[in-house]
Amino acid sequence: MLAAVSEVGRRVRGALPAVGLLTLATAAMLGVSTLLGFAPAPAAWRIALTLVAAGLLGIAAADQVRAALTDWQGATAAESGVHRRPRRGLIDLAGELSGERTGDWTGDRVLAGRLGDEERTETGIFTGRTRRVPTTGDLWGEPDEPPSRSERPEPPARGRPPRPSWMRIAVTTLIAAALAALLWVPQVPVSGVARTAAQFVVGYGAFALPVLPLLLAWPLPRLRRGPRWSWRLPLLPVADRRLWTGAELRELAVTTLAFLRERVLTRASGIVLATLGLLHLVRGNPNLLDGGTNRAGGLAGFLLAEPLRLLLASGGAIALLGGVLAGAAAVIAASVGRAWGTVTGYSVLAVALVVPLGLAGASHWLGYEYYLRTQDGRVVVVAGLSPRHVQSVHDTSLRVDGMSPSLVALLDKGLPVTGNDDGERIAKALAQPGTSAAELYVGDQFELKSGECFDWIGGSSQLRYVAPCNGAHVGEVTFVGHLPFTVDPGKSAVDAAAKAMCEQSYGDYLGVPFGQSFLPLEAPLLPPALEEGWHARPVIACWLGSVGPWTLKGTRTVAALQQKTPWGAAGGCKIEVPDALRVTAAQPGVRCLAPGPEQRLSVPGGGFAMDLEFAAIGKAAGGAKVGAGCFDGANLTNGYSFEVAPDGVIEIWKHFADQHARLTASAKPKNAGPPTTASTPLQVTCKPTPDGGVELTAFSTGSRKASVVDKNAPITSLSPRLVLANAEAGGVVMTTMIFNATRV
């Protein structure tokens, strides 16, 4: 019983240095990381769990740390000439009774015996190997006093590892040179692929990969090891076509854990892995799928650090990995000091701690890209490893509300910028294009200004020339300005930003914001020189297609007969646009709307005024009605219609789902023909009222007027449409000669 208790006590005492080293290093790292802002302080229970984990790792590395401590003491004693007499316990003496010595000792030991007056003196540094010592006499006697300094023999020279073979040096140097060429020299053909693959695996550690093979050229002194890991055991099901036995599984588990213990806790591989994990944590835990890990610790850092972060929080994971790094650095430094001197050992310790921790610490603030993007309905500049990764946020004071769809989509995706100031400048220029307006757009053999109308020759030349807006023309320039980029953001970003600026300036020119009019923007005109190479702040031109012999500036036009927009109607209806717009009701009992469901535009709270004129639909049209309407583009079954009946009466209807209610009607026309035999002009308005209703008004020739205010659950999300209501016969055609809708 006493022997068992003594054995436990010896093991506990033997583990104390390792437990103390890793626990103190972990606690220090936790305090430093919290003070420097690498991560917030974890909860109390996570701190306790982190320190417990550090203690368990210390117990696992007890033998290695104790051996390293002995090495360091031996190296220090040998250099200083101080030879200590180590304490000898009952267990040490019991071992010597059998003629065996196990353990570590340094300095000179003098042991006197009672048999004959023999004196045995041992001088040297014991490295932990079992030695057989012939003994005689009474080993329980007291040791003599140590000899004076002048009588002591000089300590033996420290044993250095043998010089590696030239083959080993050549192979490691060749590997390092090949990696350097692949990862450091962009001109190598496969450098890009190799760098991408390496960064995926180890992130920023890829740039240090060429240095690591050089560490193998002159290996460190080997530490005591447990049973050697056998690569044959995992292959038993394939090689011997049988499953593992229980003993083999235990052997595989024990040897694997022993291998990992040595490689992670006491070797350079542990420093490398801990550094990759720290890179992942201090750079904001990037996601594996957004590419951010390539600029942190890579896949290896992600797999190592993420489980620790989920268990111990970021602060605890940083502290534990820092403790592991400090422990491995101390063991390596002691091993080097034993072979090459304490000065070299201290140097290795400093390098092994300062370089990884310094690089990981600096990477918390440096090496990020800046992206202009949206967050919580605001435009911000984020510093991160990818557009989705956020390390820090700078608010530009711009809100997303009111921005065009293309601009919102561009910012949602993330636009690369050079910094906070550059991002804020670009954001304001995109949101307010007028601040970056230019005087002139210079094309290929033509020049255009904002507000000018133009025509072109066509064909392959596409040569444009200025034309009067009150005559025939192809398009009208709505904005000329600079793209705000000083550095090339890429073709897709240039195209998206040009489109976004045109959409943002749309409302300033037309009077109706983009997205509240059927009139489409044409593709922006980019400078021809941009195809030859990038230049800062290129000038673009935005333009609208012509809808008639007049200017569109400030007209608040929402729809026009000549608009280049999908007119497609619903089932049972057909739309053709040759010289005029023809809507055909192919089946009886349908209501045809143009534009149809493909045009889903609706303006909440928007009011419209429409001017229309229809050709006669013919006497065979039966009970068909022609007119206009204000309908919800998202659901064309809801809205209001103004329909001219075969007898010429104007009827105002309200439609909600499958319910149709006539709200009011005008008198019969005076001295005006019905739509079946005469052309029918029509002016209608639908607009919201201050008290929450919708005012509906229609006029036509022959003193026809109908007006009503709908206050019974009014429909307020509306857009202008043409209407053909076919009651009896199929094949009715409504020809529209004038259709123009404006905002009121």
Q: Any idea what the CATH number is for the domain that residue 733 is in?
A: 2.60.120.560
Mean pLDDT of all residues belonging to the chain: 84
74 CB contacts (<8 Å, ≥6 apart)? 104, 106, 125, 338
Write out the DSSP string of 329-389: HHHHHHHHHHHH-HHHHHHHHHHHHHHHHHHHHHTTTSS-EEEEEEETTEEEEEEESSTT-
**Highest mean pLDDT, choosing among 76-90, 115-129, 290-304:** 290-304
Question: What's the pLDDT at 240?
Answer: 78
How many percent of the chain have pLDDT more than 70? 85
Question: What's the pLDDT at 20?
Answer: 92
Question: What's the pLDDT at 245?
Answer: 85
Residues 709 and 637 in one domain: yes
What is the rounded distance in angstroms from the CA atom of residue 694 to the CA atom of residue 744? 13
Residues 475 and 594 in one domain: no
Q: Which pTM value belongs to this model?
A: 0.68
Residue 305 within a domain? no
- What would the pLDDT profile of 485-539 be if each residue is shown by its tens digit? 998 988 989 999 999 999 999 999 999 999 899 999 999 999 988 888 888 999 9
Question: What's the pLDDT at 291?
Answer: 82
Residues 551 and 664 in one domain: no
What is the rounded distance in angstroms from the CA atom of residue 579 to the CA atom of residue 366? 63
3-class DSSP state of 480: strand
What is the rounded distance in angstroms from the CA atom of residue 405 to the CA atom of residue 402? 9
Residues 120 and 67 in one domain: yes
Residue 336 within a domain? no
Q: How many beta carbons lie within 10 A of that of residue 563, not counting itself? A: 24
Residues 662 and 695 in one domain: yes
What is the rounded distance in angstroms from the CA atom of residue 42 to the CA atom of residue 39? 8
Domain span including residue 673: 558-743
Q: Is the pLDDT of residue 154 over 80?
A: no
What is the rounded distance in angstroms from the CA atom of residue 494 to the CA atom of residue 252? 58
What is the rounded distance in angstroms from the CA atom of residue 724 to the CA atom of residue 587? 12
197 CB contacts (<8 Å, ≥6 apart)? none
Write out the two tokens for 455.
């025509």
Residues 533 and 621 in one domain: no
- Mean pLDDT (whole number) for 679-686: 96
Question: What's the pLDDT at 69?
Answer: 86
Residues 136 and 44 in one domain: yes
Radius of gyration of the chain (CA): 43
Question: CA nearest 29: which of 267, 327, 296, 269?
Answer: 327
Question: What's the pLDDT at 91?
Answer: 36
Question: What's the pLDDT at 135?
Answer: 39
Total structural domains in the chain?
3
User: Which segments of 399-519 does DSSP mark as H helices, in order?
Assistant: 405-413, 420-431, 491-510
Write out the two tokens for 237.
């099901």
Question: What's the pLDDT at 160?
Answer: 62
Residues 730 and 665 in one domain: yes
Indicate the DSSP class of residue 540: E
- What would the pLDDT profile of 174-202 be if each residue is shown by its tens digit? 999 999 999 999 889 899 999 999 999 99
pLDDT band with cut points at 50, 70 and 90 for residue 73: confident
Residue 159 within a domain? no
Question: What's the pLDDT at 336?
Answer: 87
Structural domain ending residue among the three candidates 125, 146, 167: 146
Residues 713 and 569 in one domain: yes
Question: CA nearest 659: which of 643, 645, 642, 639?
Answer: 639
For CA atoms 543, 545, 548, 554, the dihedral sign is: negative
Residue 133 within a domain? yes
Question: What's the pLDDT at 731?
Answer: 87
Write out the two tokens for 447.
């020049």
Pick the range with the lowest mean pLDDT from 45-54, 117-126, 482-491, 575-584: 117-126
Residues 479 and 539 in one domain: yes
Residue 18 within a domain? yes
Structural domain ending residue among the three candidates 77, 111, 146: 146
Q: Are 378 and 398 in contact (CB under 8 A)?
A: yes
Indicate the DSSP class of residue 242: S
Question: What's the pLDDT at 1?
Answer: 62
pLDDT band with cut points at 50, 70 and 90 for residue 263: confident
Write out the two tokens for 163.
């010089």
Structural domain ending residue among the three candidates 486, 520, 555: 555
Write out the two tokens for 205.
């550690």
What is the rounded distance in angstroms from the CA atom of residue 609 to the CA atom of residue 215? 81
574 CB contacts (<8 Å, ≥6 apart)? 583, 584, 586
Residue 376 within a domain? no
Question: What's the pLDDT at 335?
Answer: 85
- What would the pLDDT profile of 619-673 be if each residue is shown by its tens digit? 888 889 999 999 999 999 999 999 999 999 999 999 999 899 999 999 999 888 8
pLDDT band with cut points at 50, 70 and 90 for residue 722: very high
Residue 322 within a domain? no
Residue 302 within a domain? no
Pick the range with the lowest mean pLDDT from 26-40, 75-89, 698-712: 75-89
How many percent of the chain have pLDDT more than 90? 56
Write out the two tokens for 249.
């599984």
Write out the two tokens for 574.
């057909």
**Highest mean pLDDT, choosing among 32-36, 396-400, 586-590, 694-698:** 694-698
Q: Is the pLDDT of residue 140 over 50?
A: no
Question: What's the pLDDT at 458?
Answer: 62
Question: What's the pLDDT at 654?
Answer: 97
Residues 564 and 707 in one domain: yes
β-strand partners of 479 = 542
Residues 6 and 52 in one domain: yes
- What would the pLDDT profile of 278-334 be if each residue is shown by its tens digit? 999 999 999 888 788 999 999 999 999 999 999 999 999 999 999 999 999 999 998
Q: Are 103 and 88 in contact (CB under 8 A)?
A: no
